[in-house]
Amino acid sequence: MSVSIRVDWDEAAIHRLLYAPSGLVHRKVSDVTETVADRCRVLAPNRDGTLRASIKTAVRVSGTKVVGHVYSDLDYSVYVQRGTGLYGPIGRPIRPRRSRFLVFDVGGQTVFAREVRGTPPQPFMLEALRAGSPWPVVALPA
């Protein structure tokens, strides 16, 4: 006696479940992305609130993956995250390239310097990802 079983897949329903904005996977990735972004806003250094206010999210389907993005479009956000000068990826002091001194304002006073040490990294985005993600997080080298 032979028994046969036939399974019909509703591929459109499966695709909606996985990739449509109303699907379970997309919603889960969106929820995690928003959680991480909220944590980023809490952990971001707050001098005037600009960096915190610049944190945005996006969820995109890329091939067979649903990918959540948390980012800031401010030019200096990467320097806050990774550090600069001695503390950054290059690992040496910041020196002027076209003049003898670096010139900048600190508290309303003009400062002249031949070199500065830089700023230590504040990896608030990585910390937020580790705190807000239900999945393991591994930091890749820069």
Kindly report the CA angle at 105 between 102 and 109, in degrees rounded to 5? 115
Q: Residue 97: enclosing H or E segment and its boundaries?
A: none
Does 96 share its domain with 55?
no
Closest by CA to 26, choosing from 64, 71, 70, 67, is 67
Residue 1 covered by a domain = no
Residue 28 covered by a domain = yes
Please give the model's pTM, rounded to 2 decimal places.
Answer: 0.81
Structure tokens at 20: 């449509």
Q: What is the pLDDT of residues 34-84, one digit of tens each?
A: 999 999 999 999 888 999 999 999 999 988 899 999 999 999 999 999 999
Residue 18 covered by a domain = yes
Q: By the 8 A CB rule, do 55 and 73 touch? A: no
Does 37 share its domain with 102?
no
Does 61 share its domain with 112?
no
Side-chain-facing half-sphere of 58: CA atoms under 13 Å: 7
Does 62 share its domain with 127?
yes
Rounded to a whole number of angstroms, the distance between the first and last alpha carbons of the chain is 63
Does 105 share its domain with 127?
no
Supply the range of the domain harboring residue 112.
84-120
Looking at residue 77, its amino acid is: S
Does 65 share its domain with 128?
yes
Does the pLDDT value for residue 102 go beyond 70? Answer: yes
Does 110 share its domain with 131?
no
DSSP state for residue 140 in the 8-state scheme: P
Residue 62 covered by a domain = yes
Count up the domains in the chain and report the number: 2
Residue 4 covered by a domain = no
Does the pLDDT value for residue 142 go beyond 70? Answer: no
